[in-house]
Chain A
């Protein structure tokens, strides 16, 4: 996983969740992070689409299980 992608993803999550000390791992899920509800999830997706200039389908967004899968999806769109 490239550092740029991981750093960018962490920045988006920290801004959306208003938590400057948030640390993400590939296995991080919404249940483990306070404030990461369905609404924040969609706002994170919008911010990621803008930051990385990618576009996700509805199915792709709803199938995401953890941060690792999210990062892999972004990378697949950037190729």
Chain B
């Protein structure tokens, strides 16, 4: 079940009604049943797989919370981590490897129906479980909830598809509380859901058509068209992903559950380092706590070289996690190199930039960060390295004669509507920041109107759904 559909909204309504009729513990059971049904709609067999993994991780977290000897603790921890990673790697990469292998072997890819689907949310679920087991091993968190509560934490339906990646410490106690949500939370949730639908259908889906045209060289893309394509691509991925996250966080809040924020106005960042603290925050913090820092601590003797190595390895893994392709690997390495350069030059820059006016430093920092992000997102979007190089080539070899006029002239009426739709994002975001419980109906009404009249309905799934 996609969370950007009317069916999902109906699902939320039914659960809310059922939950309201239940006593305290019954409300937790209602949320658990809803999560199981939500996953079962996608695949019953994968639901059984994830329940099995929940069982393994629960047992490991429980064992690690007890006074085992260090050797046994290490075995339990290592074994559980390896099983989690093996399942993730198998489902995420096996199909790719088999396809590539068959292409090399006999020149034919296997038929799509012969392959297998990736379990819904397997990456995010695995990150969640690895965090629990690692925290229990480090003795920074201990499990003191029953298995059914842990299953609800693992499969909680608003965030299972694509995050945000929750931590057991803040989320589990909220899930098992069993209190009915206060009206303000419900209304804030409704506003977030409406805003998420607006971002997805009105902004992201409309921009998608331009970006697709530019990347397909539909109109003999010139430099200006390529530049606009790069900027719109960055805007699209933000509208698309943050739209999904708003719906996920809003749906949880509708039941009184506060999920961790995943975006903090990333386009205001003045450096790539700051950008990654504001963009896909739960993944960034997960990578920092469970990959980057443990790695850096182990190679700390290398000093600053160790820092650079740990950053590049972390972002390379982040890139590969998105997909087993050269473009994603290069995307990750580019982020790692930018962060490393910023860290190595930090004290040098701080001393020199003190002489310049603060506004100049801030805005040039934003321009550099956004420019870098937009350029690196070309790798994220491109089907392969030659396509990314082709776009970069269009940006470098100036050619102002072709592309732009055709790109817009192909749909003059819709171009005007697209401008209105994208521009309305600023107004809706402003209204959303200032909206209160009383103005919620007006906000939802406005989003609804814009979706009906300007939305591109029935378009592609969320970009991050495939990760």
Question: Interface on A for B, CB 8 Å cutoff?
Answer: 18, 38-39, 42-43, 45-46, 58-59, 61-63
Contacts and interface: CB of A to CB of B under 8 A. Distances in A.
B297 A39 contact: no
Contacts of B306: 42
Among B140, B292, B300, B301, max chain A CB count under 10 A is at: B300
B291 to A, nearest CB: 12
A46 B307 CA distance: 12
B288 interface: yes
Contact of B303 (A38, A43, A62): A43
A58 B139 CA distance: 13
Interface in B15-51: none
B138 A62 contact: yes
A70 B360 CA distance: 40
Given A39-B343, A42-B306, A62-B138, 20 more contacts: A38-B288, A38-B296, A39-B296, A39-B307, A42-B293, A42-B296, A42-B300, A42-B307, A43-B303, A45-B300, A46-B300, A46-B301, A46-B303, A58-B294, A59-B138, A59-B139, A62-B140, A62-B297, A63-B139, A63-B140
B106 interface: no
Interface size class of B (residues with CB under 8 A): 10 to 19
22 contacts: A18-B347, A38-B288, A38-B292, A38-B293, A39-B296, A42-B293, A42-B296, A42-B297, A42-B306, A43-B307, A45-B300, A46-B300, A46-B301, A58-B297, A59-B139, A61-B297, A62-B140, A62-B294, A62-B297, A63-B138, A63-B139, A63-B140
Contacts of A58: 294, 297-298
Contacts of B300: 42-43, 45-46
A58 B140 CA distance: 13
Interface string B303-345: 1101100000000000000000000000000000000000100
Interface string B257-297: 00000000000000000000000000000001000111011
B398 to A, nearest CB: 39
A42 B303 CA distance: 9
A59 B139 CA distance: 9
Nearest to A46: B300
A39 B300 CA distance: 10
Among A39, A45, A63, max chain B CB count under 10 A is at: A39
Contacts of B294: 58, 62
A26 B138 CA distance: 23
Nearest to B297: A58
Among B292, B296, B306, max chain A CB count under 10 A is at: B296
A59 B296 CA distance: 13
